[in-house]
Structures are given as C-alpha cells and as structure tokens.
Amino acid sequence: MSAITVGQAVVLGAVEGVTEFLPVSSTGHLKITEGLMGIQVEDRAVVGFSAVIQVGAIAAVLVYFREDIARIVGAWFRGLRDAGERENRDYRFAWWVIAATVPVVLVGLLAKPLIEGPLASLWVVAGSLIGGSAVMWAAERVGRHKRGEGDTSLRDAMLVGGSQILALLFPGFSRSGATMSTALLLDLDRVAATRLSFFLGIPALTGAGLYELKDALGAGVGAAPLLVGTAVSFAVAYASVAWLLRFVTGNSLNVFVAYRIVVGVLLFGLLAAGGLS
C-alpha cells in the first residue's frame, strides 16, 4: 500500500504549488498539512514525496520563464565555444547560478540525516516561520530597492543562493523568503529580488527532486500519487508565479510576514495542546 493516497497527493500538490515560490515556506506548509491528515511527517517515503512534487513547481517556472532560460542557456553554450561570447551578461549569469548552487548542494548532502531527522520536527517549522518573518520584516525596513535586475553581480548571486541553506536546515524559514529577503538587504528592488529567487531555485530544487525520486518509490510511494501530486503542483505553481510577480510590483512582503507569524503561533498552540504531534 502506498504511503500516500492519490487524494492526499492532490491536496499536497496544491499546497506545494501555492507555497513553493511564495515566501511562506512550502516545506513548512507541507509538513503541517501532512500532520493534519495523519501522515507521518518524518517517514522517508513522505520526505521523498515532498521533494519529488517540487519538480512540478520547478517545471512551472521553466515554462513561465522559458524565453529567459533559453536565452541564458544559449549564451552559456556559445560562451563555452567562443571566447568572444564570454562578455555576454547572460553567459556570466549562468555561471553565477551554477556557482551559487554549489554551497546548498554540499550542505544538503552532508546534513541529510539532520534534515530528514530532528530538523523535520513541526516545532522547528513553527519557530522557523516566526524567525524567518523577523528577517523578512527587517529586509523590508532596511532595503532601499534601488537596484534592478541588470545591476546584479556574482556577489549578489552567491549571497542570495547561499541563503537557501537557511531554508534547507530550518523547514519553515522558506527558501523564497530567505532568498528574497537577502536580495532586498542587498538593495535590489522587489521584482529583481523575486526573479533572482526563481532562477537560483531551479537547479537546487530540481536536483533535490530527482535525487529523492528513487527513495520515494523505493520507500513505499506509488507512481500514481507521485504523478498526480507533481501534475497538480505544476498547474497551481504556474498560477502562483504569475500572481506573485504582479503582486510585488506594487506591494511589500509584509502581508506574508503577518501571515507567517499567525501560522507559526497557531502551530505552536496546536503542538502544545496535543492537536498535532
């Protein structure tokens, strides 16, 4: 019997799609939803399932930004063959994304037992939701929003990409929240911060999903729940990405800060009262 049913996969896919790129923590929301549905949060099959359905959300970003991605990848391949193409900003940006992904991959591999063990606790999720909110609030207060996407540098990419480690180690912190907050602290405007967060998330999340695929199948998740969850995640994430890019053009992230605090406090209350374990 599959560790996750098709019906549960639909719900979890929708939660993943909505929350993957919003700065509210997809991992935290998945763990909360799993807990409410009576699914074992720390089950290896469940952890693997959560990572695999992220691929659906990443696929949505690949489709949404297909023209940008094709341009960047094309410039990278041309630069590998032709030294004259290496001054192209897209060629350099491709290398920045690759370099910025290395730290999070190394930490993910080295800290895997912790990530799938003690750090998977819902108590950690609750604390990280509130702690991450403080970082986002500070970023909105301090950031001057004076730099656009064309002003980004290798330093920006490394710092923003490296901040994904916070979300990796502390589910509930939010990968999007960490990367967008770091970008805002570097004085990028909200649209540039959001787009940079998207691009830097593609290799890390895709790699994590593919790496976990064998474990998810081998640990007791059927092919049907994986396919359904991934498909639902793709559809919902595409809509979520489009909405977020429109939202950040004229709004701050403070609405997400308030939401995260409310969810974190409620989660602490449920755990303390025994409503969740």
Number of structural domains the chain divides into: 1
In a domain, 1, yes or no: no
CA distance 34 to 12: 8
Range(s) of the domain holding residue 36: 6-273
**Tokens at 154, concatenated:** 């290798």
143-181 residue pLDDT tens: 999 999 999 999 999 999 999 999 999 989 999 999 999
pLDDT at residue number 216: 65
First and final C-alpha spacing in the chain? 23
Is 70 inside any structural domain?
Answer: yes
Whether 104 contacts 163, CB under 8 Å: no
- Reported as a single tens digit per residue, the pLDDT across 100-152 is 999 999 998 899 889 878 888 889 999 999 999 999 999 999 999 999 999 99
In the chain the beta strands, taken as DSSP E runs, fall at none
Indicate whether this model's pTM tops 0.75. yes
- Interval 223-266: pLDDT, tens: 899 899 999 999 999 999 999 999 999 999 999 999 999 999 99
